[in-house]
Each structure stands twice: as structure tokens, then as C-alpha cells.
Structure 1
Amino acid sequence: MTKPIQMNMTEITRLMRAGQLSEATQMIQSGLGSAGIGGTPDAAPGAGAGASAPELPDMQALLSNLRLPGMGEGGLKGGLPGGLAGGLTGGFGAGLPGARASGPAPTLPEGAQWTWRRHQAAGESRDLRLYVPASLAGGPAAGLLLLLHGCTQDPDDFARGTGILEAAEQHRIIVIAPTQPSQANMNRCWNWFEARHGAKDSGEAAFLADLTRSIAHEFEVPPDLRFAAGLSAGGAMAVTLGAVFAEDFGAVACHSGLPNGAARDMSGAFQAMSQGGSDRGTGVGCRLFVLHGSTDTTVSPRNGDAVLSQALHRQEGLQRRAADAKLDGRAVQIGRYRDAKGELRIESWRVEGLGHAWSGGNPQGSHTAAGPSATQAMLKFFLG
């Protein structure tokens, strides 16, 4: 029998209605910590091997009916989960390590384009940044990358933090960076935890797949050279794309994200983030790069394991070879999985001492940390 988590929901509700989100978060964290959820990421929850997981409170019912300052009807509408802004251990976007407000657009090399567009499909409409590198003049693109920011971020901030535009210039890659508006999610998280946004014919995943096809057609980029990568909520959505729309992508990369189908509502999202999502859903069917920090307390490292496990269930018969290393001052556990023809299908990185931040990122962007460059590792995998 599961043990319910004891929380003063009346006081949490009062604090959130008063706009005191930090205080409300601390009270939620305290309740989860007393139940054994908010501890060390790699520690198994519960009192023992046979212990049942504690029951989470009905956060969906609480949050969806709240009216916070400056909000209209309808409450939060699923605005909290997603990692960077919505983690039970990460707060509501304030006070996170490396967090900073978005600034100006990145500096571009002469001849490059970083323009705004708008795309509509699958019942969704979003603004997006499109990067066409100057190095593309006179020749075809080496690839096309759909870049999905994390919660509280936007395309400019994420481009600065990842250094993706400099890397795209070097490798002759077109970058699509859509923005998630606060109208779709209060903290600008991609809604990976809502089933309708992982559907084949409508919702955010279907929109992003259509967007990728549209730009790829414009620049004549074939499916095997179309890639998707994201951080946290963006990483979870990249995994969904690689599972549901595997035929549209040559490879996807998940940095600090979650497995496909890890949650179907808000309370389930909280649980998956803190305890690890199940690997029972459909895994990534195209090539996969997955990176997770060993000390991530916002999205448990167990989620990186589940993303890998899902893909291995779908892509059977792969042979693993370990290639552990020390890169840029951090130990990295690397696993490479090849098929019978020798093709590298999956590569997994566990970066020791890395929390919930883009490894090797530029501190001019938010949610970055020192370490081996995730950007260069992903692009090497994509183009290898």
C-alpha cells in the first residue's frame, strides 16, 4: 500500500494565489523530501526493494484551478513541469544555477541570416528563428537541426548558451529554433507531459515535425540529414519526435530530458522528473544521442537511462562498447551501440558532477555549466 505525502495544500494554494511561488515551491519540496522523493538522484526511492512509491498529491486539480496575479481564466494550464522551470527540486524558474534573463540576439558572421518566421500546422502556430549559415553559400547544407529550448528560455538565449550558431557555421547546418510562448505554457516549456502533444496528427510534436519537413523541403535536405535536439522539456519533446516521427529524422539528441510517454498529466510529470519515467513507452526509432548529468536534481538521471532503455527495446540487437573518458575536467561514462553493419545507432553520455544545465555551454546563455561540449558531441554524432 502506498504512503500519501503529507502537505499543507491549503497553505500552498494561498501562497500561489498570492504570487509567492518560491515559498510554495519550498513547501512542496519539503513535503517531497519528507517522503523520500527529493533526495539523491541515484538513490532508489522508498524504504527498501519492496517499498511502494509514495502517492503524489493531486497537483493537477490544485494547479489547474489557480488564478495567479496577472493571469486570466483557466489557471496554470500545465505551466509548471518541464525541467528548467517546473521541477519540484528546481523551483519555478527563479534561483536556478546559471539562470539569467534573455538578452540580445547572438552576434552573426557576415552573410549569415538569423531571421524570424511563423509557421502553422497541426492546430498549432509558433514563431521561430531560422539560421542560414554564411558557409552555405554555393552549396547544399550538411544537415538541418530543429533546436528545442528548455523552460523559461527562448531561441536567442538558447542559441547563445549552446553556441549552436557558431557550430552550425562551422558544419554548414541550418538551424530551426521555434519558440514556445507563455500562452501555450506559463514557463514556456514544451508540453511533453500532455498526451495530445505527442499525437501523430495534432499537437506540438505534429507541429514540429511539419515545421521540420517544410524547412527541409525549402532547402532540399533529405530525412536522414534532419535532426532534432533539446534540453530538459525540449529534450523530452525531441525524444517524442524520434519515437512518433522516426521516419522524418535521421537522429535526435536528448540533453537532460525524459522518455517518451513518461507522463500524461501534471502530477505524473512531477513524479517522472523526480523519480524517473518508465521505459515502457515507444522508444526512439531513429539514431539517438542521450546525455544526462549525474547530479541532476531537477530531472533525475534515471530518465536518461529510461530514454536509452526505450530505444534499445525498439532497436534490438545492438552491440555496446564502452568508451569512458575524462573530458574538460569531468569523467564521462560513454556507451556506443552499433548494429550488425557497424553503424553507430545510439550514443549515451553520463557526465559526472553535471547538474541540470547544458554541458560545455556559454555562460552568456541560461542554464549552462562547465564540461565537455554537448553541442560538438551531438553534431559529431549527427554527422558521423
Structure 2
Amino acid sequence: MTKPTTLNMAEITRLMRAGQLSEATQMIQTGLGGAPVDLASAAPFPNLTGAGLPSGLGLPQGRAQAMPASPGSWTWRDHQAAGQSRQYRLYVPASLAEGETPAGILLLLHGCTQDPDDFARGTGIHDAAERHRVVVIAPAQPAQANMNRCWNWFEPRHAEAQGGEAAFLTDLTRAIGHEFAVPPNLRFAAGLSAGGAMSVILGAVFPEDFGAVACHSGLPNGAARDMGSAFAAMSGGGSDRGTGAGCRLFVLHGSADRTVAPQNAQAVVAQALRAQPGLTRRAAAARLDGHNVQVARFRDKDDVLRIESWVVEGLGHAWSGGAPQGSHTAAGPSATTAMMRFFLGSAKQG
């Protein structure tokens, strides 16, 4: 694993805001021991980019498209807890009969530069929610909390049981779970990039509150302690010495991800295996939607599927099988379908 390094973030930020990307890149590469860095691709992670940068740098722009028509309700709400206050979208599917208990609740955590509407478009989560009768919670990370609207996975205070973003998100999920009478084993969390890293934190710090979590292109819990070590983790693989997910876990990563190194997926799984010892591993190669996928499944003594990991060949830093109407999506096997199957399907199948 690459050891966390100290970077001159103030000078790097100054260079980037001045449009001197080559100089900023060189400084980061030097700080990371020569590891390659793609600043444009790194936009979905910590707040080095966005505000104050010149236009035309290839960074994702805000999307103004309307949400596709859907039969359910997609409303804004507010929630306060753990010293945090956020707005969130709530999707209640029309397929859910009045008074009927949902099949589950999904906390959906967008990546950096995204928002709940953008992420819903890209993942097609409304259609999935209708098919499976699942209520979706999609909180919005405001620019006031992070310039690029990233969940602050790399700040230790946001990975604590008391106070911070992880505690807020868990409290929000509990509140909706109580509202719809959905027990903890049917409450799930999934996210992309920074959202994926935060999902891992939720599964590690609050394993009794979630039946399963899913990490797409994210990092392990405790992979970084500040911005400098965040870049090191993204580039070369973060530390896996933190506490791993204690609930069921689905991991998906692209082999060609230049923003978050694929080694991070291995680290997420390694953490979880320490938190859930005694699992039996079975690996296989698959061909899904025209892509080669390396699949590993880990089962307990009762044959319950506890951990599933996919590495999609050729996939970059994007939601696999996502719709082009959303940002950070790419062709590939549907991550949305795979995660919903893992969450709601029989744990003894697959």
C-alpha cells in the first residue's frame, strides 16, 4: 500500500486556479512518488477542483435535464442530525400499494460534482425502485460542506459513530425506516466514488443499521486522514487497516479506473474479510453485457453470500451500465441491477 504523504495543498490549489495544470500535476506526482495523476479525471474526488477554475478543462458540468417521467413521487425533504443538516430526495414507488411495507429502503449516495437528480438519471434507480418496490433516499451534499459536493470520506470526524456525515446518514436511514416500518436488515446503502467510500464507512461503523452496503469505485474505511493522503490512496491504493464492513457487502470496480486505483476494491474486500472471518471464497470469470468480469463470492458456514466483488475489464471511473443522461456513466453490466439483486435476492443463491 502507498503510505499517506503530505502535499502542499495550498500551492497545488493556487496553481490549479491559475490554470497551471501541468505544474499542479507535477507537484502532486512528486508528492506521490511519481504515481500518475489525471486531474481532469480526478474531479469526482476531493475538493481540489471546481470553484475558481477556468472553463474548458474537461470537468463535468452541471446537468439541467429534467428527470425522466416516473409514476412514483420524487420529493425534497430536510433532515437534521449529528450536527449536520441536509436536503434529500425521497422516491416512493407507485408500485407500492397504500399501506404496504416496502421490500426495502435504499440510501443512494452520489459522487462528487453530482446531485440526487443527476445520480438518479444515471443509475436508473426510479425504474429499479418500481420493479422491486423499494423506497429510495437520495441525500444531497451541498457545496458548503465540500466544494465539489463530495461526501467527506477522507476526514476522520465524518467516519465516527457520534457526529459527522456517517452518523447523519445513518440517522436519516433510521428515520425513513421507522416511517415505512422497514427493519434494519432491509435497509441498504450504495454509492459511487466518494459515495461508495462513504457506504463502506456506514457498513463498518453502523453494521447493525444496514442489511448490506455497496461500493462502486470507492475506497476502504480509513484509507486517508486528510487531502494529501486521499490523493495517495486514490492513486496507489488506500490503507486497509481500518475496520471493515460488518454487514453484507457488494463491491464493483473498473480495471481501467484512473481516478481511484482498482487496488482499493481489493482493500475494501480485505477489510470486510477481517470483520467477517471464516468465509469461503469462490471466484469465476464471466462475460456480462459484452464485458469480461472477474467475480469473487464469499460465503459463511451456512452458505449465506456475505461478500460479492466484481472487477469489470476496461471500465473506467463511471457507473457501470448507467444511462448517458447522468454524469459519470459508462457501458457495461448494470451495476444497479447487480446491486439490487444482491440486496434483495436470496443470499443463498448466486
Structure 1-normalised TM-score?
Answer: 0.81
Q: What SS is found at the alignment partner of 2:95?
A: helix
| 1:38 aligned residue (29, 36, 39) | 36
Q: How many residues align?
A: 334
Q: Which amino acid aligns with 1:15?
A: L
Q: How far off is 1:8 after superposition?
A: 9.7
| C-alpha spacing 1:13/1:120, structure 2 compared with 1 (3 Å) | closer
Query: For the Cα contact (< 8 Å) 2:9–2:228, is it kept in 1?
Result: no
Query: For the Cα contact (< 8 Å) 1:25–1:91, is it kept in 2?
Result: no
| 2:81 aligned residue (118, 121, 128) | 121
Query: For the Cα contact (< 8 Å) 1:87–1:299, is it kept in 2?
Result: no
Write the mapping of 1:297-376 to structure 2, written as runs, cut at 5 A: 297-376=258-337
Q: How far off is 1:100 after superposition?
A: 4.4
What do the CA deviations read for 1:73-97 (whole angstroms, capped 9, x no partner)? Answer: xxxxxxx9x9543369x9659525x
Q: How far off is 1:25 after superposition?
A: 3.9
Query: For the Cα contact (< 8 Å) 1:122–1:206, is it kept in 2?
Result: yes
Q: How far off is 1:12 after superposition?
A: 4.4
| Aligned-residue RMSD, C-alpha | 2.6
| 2:94 aligned residue (104, 127, 134) | 134
Specify every segment of 5 or more residues in structure 2 that has no aligned partner in the other structure, as ranges: 52-56, 346-350
Q: How far off is 1:9 after superposition?
A: 8.4
Query: For the Cα contact (< 8 Å) 1:274–1:298, is it kept in 2?
Result: yes
Query: For the Cα contact (< 8 Å) 1:100–1:365, is it kept in 2?
Result: no
Q: How far off is 1:266 after superposition?
A: 1.1
Q: How far off is 1:263 after superposition?
A: 0.8
Residue 281 of structure 1 is matched in structure 2 by 242
Q: How far off is 1:33 after superposition?
A: 4.3
| 1:223 aligned residue (184, 196, 201) | 184
Query: For the Cα contact (< 8 Å) 2:49–2:148, is it kept in 1?
Result: no
Q: What SS is found at the alignment partner of 2:105?
A: strand
Q: Which amino acid aligns with 2:194?
A: A
Residue 226 of structure 2 is matched in structure 1 by 265
The answer to whether 1:95 aligns with 2:93 is: no
d(CA) in 2 for partners of 1:128, 1:251: 21
Q: Which amino acid aligns with 2:125?
A: I
Structure 2-normalised TM-score?
Answer: 0.89
Q: How much identity, in percent, do the aligned residues show?
A: 67
| C-alpha spacing 1:214/1:358, structure 2 compared with 1 (3 Å) | same
Specify every segment of 5 or more residues in structure 1 that has no aligned partner in the other structure, as ranges: 41-79
Q: How far off is 1:339 after superposition?
A: 0.3
Q: How far off is 1:108 after superposition?
A: 3.4
Q: How far off is 1:275 after superposition?
A: 1.1
Q: Which amino acid aligns with 2:312?
A: V
The answer to whether 1:28 aligns with 2:24 is: yes
The answer to whether 1:86 aligns with 2:45 is: yes
The answer to whether 1:207 aligns with 2:173 is: no
Q: Which amino acid aligns with 2:163?
A: S
Q: How far off is 1:324 after superposition?
A: 1.6
